Chain A
């Protein structure tokens, strides 16, 4: 399939990624050849085949409804680039 500039732009938006002009050109080419190869899958006859999300037959794996955790704010925030008053800090969100 043809990889347009719009598609490259859209995929960057979806992934919250910004490529340089040069990277965009390279990506366009790479994705073109990769998707070109992937399109080979269209030759595979999958008529009537149920999509398989889980390869194993196991079902109904549960945890009992029990509270097992105590507060661990320090550990939770220990890797935060910025924290304040027990919270993670981000630039102001706007609605």
Chain B
């Protein structure tokens, strides 16, 4: 098969073609690597391209498929991995100078599972440093560009994983989502992303940003691929005591999901002030689709949204400042030469190894935890968390799915938000609440704004309702073609 043919296929279709002998993992992997080599310098979606490892894995996958050892839907299919997920023997830098040379001696649980299923790791994708950002501009490896417009950011922090799929440099990828880091770049890049329920996917081997919020999830061209990858990575893990027993999705039921009778709630605050009109219109149009297909739609007030950003940044920065304290120049990562004083070693390793956004969040985290401020900030945020959970519990008594935009805007211009961190933080208004209470959410391409940039719709469900969410997304994608549109096609036009 040629790369042009491969590019038209979904991950599940590639998997089937390999199994049917119409192509091989080797052929697909080779073609993708060639394309990455050609196109990545412009997009900068990858920080590391795993040429040799991928080809070796592909050969092994072909052999194991022939011998009947591998029988899964995605055996032999290539995948791209966000650079904060530990891969044994492959640099895992988190987009930071601090870990520019870090070679994990172990695989993350999700990587072990993907390998066992014969998925081929193409390489590691670019991200905001330590996943702190919404633009993939804070990476030590330079910014990733959005295939939909070279002056546009791909979103973040999983910008590399989303841009790689959008630019055909991967058919599926893994990202991580702490406050929107899968959903928002998926939205900006016109691809589909799932942030699973907290605990359904093991975090073992995901370099921690904020432990109570982080979750790994898949990004792909359509929801069926995303659901298929989710099935491979979900499940309880004895190495992560916050993980839970999880039912795998019924992929056939996802594909054929009927939204008739589904109750949809629209939080007023998700369509209020600060949300672009184009974004609102596109999402409302998509909601109309559900209504037309027999779902009931109702708007409801959710005033707690106003406190989303403060609560999120307090909790996220507090946990981050603790999680990032281990980078001290002693055990791994960056260490300046010739420092002979211990305190100096700590300070210089960290001051030179971390970028400005990471330092800012470390300082913010230290502030909200320090004695004298703990109660007013951190403890208050934990109280707000309880109220947010209550608000969602009440919403889900009435609705099966809550729908809103993923982000207030479409992809921003490069450099726009770097100078004003508060403005960047405010862009997370629609996504962070979900992480605070651990809910699942899907980002689905819903249309385009007046500049031709993709707009994402966010479907939010109860804990462990991935089956319903993916089904609702599949129902939309069955009859709408926004997710099939490609930036590359736009260029041709």
Contact = CB atoms under 8 A, between A and B. Distances in A.
Direct touching of A and B (C-beta under 8 Å): yes
Interface of A: 7-8, 10-12, 14-19, 23, 27, 30-31, 33-35, 37-42, 44, 46, 49-56, 58, 61, 63, 72, 75-76, 78-82, 88, 90-94
Interface residues on B, range: 35 or more
A27 B363 contact: yes
Interface string B299-330: 00000101101110110000001000100111
A88 B380 CA distance: 40
Contact of A37 (B310, B325, B344): B310
Nearest to B380: A41
A33 to B, nearest CB: 5
B384 to A, nearest CB: 6
Interface stretch (B166-174, B352-360, B482-490): B352-360
Interface in B412-443: 421-422, 425-426, 436-438
Given A33-B422, A46-B380, A15 B350 contact: yes
22 contacts: A11-B363, A17-B350, A17-B354, A18-B351, A30-B360, A30-B422, A34-B364, A37-B422, A38-B313, A41-B384, A44-B304, A44-B380, A46-B380, A49-B383, A52-B383, A54-B212, A55-B212, A75-B105, A80-B330, A81-B333, A81-B335, A93-B342
A81 B352 CA distance: 15
B362 A15 contact: yes
Nearest to B358: A17
Interface centre among A7, A10, A52, A94 (most CB of B within 10 A): A52
Contacts of A75: 105-106
Contacts of B106: 75
A37 B309 contact: yes
Contacts of A76: 105
Contacts of A31: 360, 363-364, 367
B246 interface: no
B5 interface: no
B138 to A, nearest CB: 14
Contacts of B351: 17-19
A64 to B, nearest CB: 10
A40 B310 contact: yes
Interface stretch (B153-161, B289-297, B385-393): B385-393
A46 B384 CA distance: 7
B381 interface: yes
Interface centre among A11, A39, A76 (most CB of B within 10 A): A11
B366 interface: yes
B433 to A, nearest CB: 12
A84 to B, nearest CB: 13
B52 interface: no
B331 interface: yes
Given A11-B367, A17-B354, A17-B363, A51 B383 contact: yes
Contact of A17 (B331, B347, B386): B347
Interface string B212-253: 100000000000000000000000001001101000000000
Contacts of A72: 105
